[in-house]
Amino acid sequence: MAAALGGAARGRLRALLECETLCLRRYLKTSHKLYSATYDPNEKTFEKLLIANRGEIACRVIKTCKKMGIKTVAIHSDVDANAVHVKMADEAVCVGPAPTSKSYLNMDAIMEVIKETRAQAVHPGYGFLSENKEFARRLAAEGVTFIGPDTHAIQAMGDKIESKLLAKNAKVNTIPGFDGVVKDADEAVRIAREIGYPVMIKASAGGGGKGMRIAWDDEETREGFRFSSQEAASSFGDDRLLIEKFIDNPRHIEIQVLADKHGNALWLNERECSIQRRNQKVVEEAPSTFLDPETRRAMGEQAVALAKAVKYSSAGTVEFLVDSSKNFYFLEMNTRLQVEHPVTECITGLDLVQEMIRVAKGYPLRHKQADIPINGWAVECRVYAEDPYKSFGLPSIGKLSQYQEPLHVPSVRVDSGIQQGSDISIYYDPMISKLITYGSNRAEALKRMEEALDNYVIRGVTHNISLLREVIIHPRFVRGDISTKFLPEVYPDGFKGHKLTDLERRELLATAASLYVAEQLRSQRFLGTPRIPIAKSKRSSWELSVHLGDGIYPVAVSKDGSSFSVEVDGMKLNVTSEWNLASPLLSVTIDGTQRTIQRLSRNASGSTSIQFLGTVYKLQILTKVAAELSKYMPEKAAEDTSSILRSPMPGAVVAVSVKPGDMVSEGQEICVIEAMKMQNSMIAAKTGKLQVVGSE
């Protein structure tokens, strides 16, 4: 059961710990040094703690446990046997096969592991069993401490229906809606009509965007009820739904609360979480550009009032929707650690996992409300194995053939649970990591995020780096003009990648041409002393043709020492680099402007893929002669797929709505694909007769 850390893993862990400590402590003024995370070896908590989770959050909990001197037990499915959290823990036990219902949601198996390992406490992370009152009850019955609130608070606040009623009683602003469980699709339609469209259909249990749909009419309400109930049952084991008025164009701002068992409760400022796709957060930051001190205080005080109303004890998050007039409405409370908690840690200096463990052991909070600072600014980007060009992110699977986190960039923190060689599978959430940057102000934090994204090496799976980078540099985002509709408003026709300016296009062409020439020169070099003297090439200029997008550009390159002078569009650019072609990252200076690029692929035909300003561009670089001859090469005809319905993502077919011989209409549902715990309806692209249902 023991899993020892190898030298490389120990080194990586040490780097991660040092980076996290830097993020928690850096820039804290002397007057606030009390609030940088400190770990008292004489403060006894637990000897051994089990983490009932996987991936990055399991690794995150293990790091704090190591600082506190607590031994850890990891659980894992059979496909996660070589996962990073398994290697980091002191012990690791398999709890079942890959499907979550048979492993990470398998309470009987997890309880058995707790008994076998004699773990004194359990940290549930987020998702899975983190808000399951039955799991907390079973732990309490066995005398095992649940690192979270008690069963009453989980029931009251984890259930969106009951929590809304409690919020009303605690005088917290709430959204108009139906305060009960929706029985079936017909009742959902009736309730939606009474409330008035649009409405939000969402799971009573859980969160994270699972089991959540917006409906604008009766048909969408029926469809939303079906999918939301199925997703809720799959993700949380609870298919109950509620319906409430959908507030159009709001901001999503949440308040972090922390409470102990002695009646003390604090609000740890807010997190801005408005950049979302499919109701799941993509970019978060703390603090929010929108809140003034009065609104922040009012939201914080209402959040604490709600926590005290249910005698809440642990870290929790009260989520609000905020309209353009700064009116705010209670959305839900998550009785667990949030995915985006690192940005709060960066601006307050608190280690929230440590605070949760201390509270669970019975210690009182160490701080008062007036002591909680807002120091600097933190931004978090969720890096996903997704194709951002498809609905802002459809899941991608594969093996990470190359992986390098940008920890060399100052004030960067990466919370991840993967490493080079890890598999991104269809069974779990496609998150690769949480990338966090910190600065003394927002501009500094965003600039560091831009640099960190450029220096993040991820090969083997499609990822959303290009979308993240475009979001953080977009003028609307930079000036704080955002809402939960940011992505569809900014990209109404879908995300297309970075649109190059004329200058940026010239920079890319010059860089690609310089890379081509540098590679040609390297191929002429010989190592050692050959027996036969070889005449050195005296060539110093090249005439090339570069194909980019719909354009073909003549490019002239001449060598000048370690630099290249490149002529594009009649303009000359000076391109300088160390030209280390074996490195996954290449720092290039173009007329004094530094760019970090990645060359992802190349072949003998001159085709190459370069990641430039976050977006991957495909180019073909040929000599002038080769370009003239290439026009005589036949082109391969594109496959006609108009009569084929092919899933745009890997996943499991959970329902087939038709059979061979059926007549189908354009827009009719053919099947339902489940991928990474989300269900997606596949529809017919045209009207016709179904010939065959099968797989390739």
Residues assigned a catalytic role: 332
**Cα(1)–Cα(47) distance, integer angstroms:** 17
Q: Is the dihedral of CA 332, 336, 342, 344 positive or negative?
A: positive
Alpha carbon distance 448, 441 (integer Å) = 11
Residue whose tokens read 């400022």: 269
Tell me how far apart the alpha carbons of residues 631 and 10 are, in angstroms, rounded to a whole number: 54
Residue among 558, 590, 567 nearest 577 (CA): 590
Q: If DSSP states are collapsed to H, E and C, what string results for 171-217?
A: CCCECCECCCCCCCHHHHHHHHHHHCCCEEEEECCCCCCCCEEEECC
Please list the residues that pair with 398 across neighbouring strands. Answer: 424
User: Among residues 323, 61, 231, 186, which one has the least CA distance to residue 651?
Assistant: 231
Question: Distance from CA of residue 313 to its chain's centroid?
Answer: 28
| CA–CA dist 353, 65 (Å, integer) | 9
**What is d(CA 532, CA 605) in angstroms, rounded to the nearest whole number?**
30
On the CB side of 505, CA atoms within 13 Å amount to 16
Contact by Cβ (8 Å): 141, 117: no
In the Cβ-directed half-sphere of 323, how many Cα atoms lie within 13 Å?
Answer: 10
Return the half-sphere exposure (C-beta side, CA atoms, 13 A cut-off) of residue 552.
11
164: helix, strand or coil: helix
Give the CA distances from residue 150 to residues 313, 419, 464, in Å, rounded to whole numbers and listed in that order. Answer: 7, 35, 38
